[in-house]
Amino acid sequence: MRALPVVTVFAAFTVCAGLGAGAADRNSHGTETGAVGTGIPAFSVEVAEDYNRLFIRKDGWIGADVAFSFPLLDGRVCWLFGDTYVGKIEDGRRVGTMVHNTIAIQKGLDPASAGIEFIHGLEGNSPADFIKPADGVGCFWLSHGGIQTERGIHLFMARMVENATNYNSPIIGRWRPAGIVMARVANPSVNPGSWLVSQTAVPFCRFGADGSEKAFGMPLLRDGKWIYVYGIEVALDDPGGHNRHLLAGRVAAGDLEDFSKWEFYADGRWQSDYTKASRLCDRIGAELSVSYLSSLKKYVLICTHRGLSDRIQMRMAASPVGPWSRAETVYRAPEHGWDSSYFCYAAKAHPELSGKDDLLVSYACNSTDMGKAIGDPRIYIPRFIRIKFKNTATEHGPNLTSPPRRNVR
């Protein structure tokens, strides 16, 4: 184990498109793997300006994607980010540097009064990644989430390495996935600068040079004694291009670090071979959430349609493994239409920051033009909406739709 050198920035309240390939948008009500009707109750959607304001900053941490959050046992909330700009906003532009990952610790659940600390690493006096591979190979994106058990904090991180020229994943560009690593923080109650961290490769991953993928490592849901660790299979047999399918794994909370105890859902039963895991639904994003909404007695899956889209979609199920409903578009991100180079992704819910009958959801917007991402501080920061449910049998709520695409900068 080693301690991490970090810098903490306090607040009162390379463009990262590395999500895997995504095909063009389609009607979400077309043929879908595992889809069974809708079963989605009435809902409304509003922009969550209180959380939007929490992440607007002028210096230090000034933008990032991923924005995965999970509760700590002491009542705080831990945020995880991917590529992050660190510096200042000057004359309406970002000035500074980019690191591959940062975290934040939020104290208080009311965004109007919550305190939040943004934390990055240091190399000499320069900003650096909060956490780096212990073996020095590649870098980490904190895109697979985290969870705290009685044994500490467990972060699941995508190891990214420089892209080989024959790797068939044009959306990722410079980087390609090379594995998933679990980091365990043995002493989570202390300042993150004194965290003792060990790293272990997750063995349930397979990445093909053609862009195919089957990998587990998203601890999205704790349900009774089980932690459900979801996976994704990227299939190349879809006529529309790469298609991501949801897979399900589980392990008892006390056995999270014992990979021999992990189980994988295949053909209606739990078994030990991850390669046999069944496809549960498709057209999902590389980042997603699965939450339990007690008022509806439903499990809710949130993601961006096919990973890169203005469409945030929701599915529901009566169990953590489905069968999942057909995807329903709940929101169309307006940032997608601000510029022809802008794209949206990384939608996920934050149940620990949500109410009994609502779900706080974040997403990211980026640009294929790095100059525009640097020059427009409105993007490349977490954006938030709230989905508010009515506890009725009525299906299909109103959607907020984005304006027509237009160039504004």
- 71 three-state secondary structure: strand
CB 255 within 8 A of CB 226: no
Running DSSP on this structure, what letter comes out for residue 249? E
Q: How far apart are CA 107 and CA 113, in angstroms?
A: 9
Q: Which residues of the chain have pLDDT under 50?
A: 2, 4-6, 8-31, 166-171, 392-409
Q: Which own/partner pairs from 113-118 qualify as long-range (CB within 8 Å, at least 24 positions apart)?
A: 113/13, 114/13, 114/54, 115/10, 115/11, 115/12, 115/13, 116/10, 116/11, 116/13, 116/54, 116/79, 117/8, 117/9, 117/10, 117/11, 118/8, 118/9, 118/11, 118/57, 118/60, 118/61
Cα angle 186, 187, 191 (rounded to 5 degrees) comes to 140
Q: What's residue 39's pLDDT?
A: 77
Location of structure tokens 């704790």:
222
Q: How far apart are CA 101 and CA 131, in angstroms?
A: 7
The pair of structure tokens assigned to 257 is 């670090």
CB 260 within 8 A of CB 190: no
Q: What's residue 210's pLDDT?
A: 81
For the chain, what are the domain ranges? Answer: 2-389
Name the CATH architecture for the domain at 2-389.
Answer: 5 Propeller (2.115)
Q: What's residue 1's pLDDT?
A: 56
The pair of structure tokens assigned to 195 is 């965290």
> For residue 46, which amino acid is it?
E
CB 383 within 8 A of CB 51: no
Which is nearest to 122 in space by CA: 156, 153, 90, 99? 99
Query: What confidence tens digit (pLDDT) does each residue in 262-300 have?
Result: 999 999 999 999 999 999 999 999 999 999 999 999 999
Q: What's residue 174's pLDDT?
A: 74
